Amino acid sequence: MNRGPDLSRAEWRTSSLSGSNGQCVQVAFLGKHVAVRDSKNPQGPALAFGTREWSVFVSGVKGGRFDLV
């Protein structure tokens, strides 16, 4: 079973655009992977993506693909 990348030494980053309400995700860049977790539950689960998948996702966000309005 593939358990994904080792997150024990991950350096988590929080967006400078996150508000003071604490509702934000954190990201860690881990070589061939990018991990994402909920900042309100840092000991909880994290998702890991390949760098290619992450790049496609970020391009979609910047292009408005996931806008709700």
> Residue 22: what are its φ and ψ, rounded to 5°?
80, 10
Does position 55 have pLDDT exceeding 80, yes or no?
A: yes
Q: Which residue has the higher pLDDT, 22 or 8?
A: 8
Mean pLDDT value of segment 47-64: 95
Note the pLDDT of residue 69: 80
Does position 22 have pLDDT exceeding 70, yes or no?
A: no
Residue 37, classified by CB atoms within 10 Å of its CB into exposed (0-12), middle (13-18) or buried (19+), is: buried
Note the pLDDT of residue 51: 95
Note the pLDDT of residue 24: 86
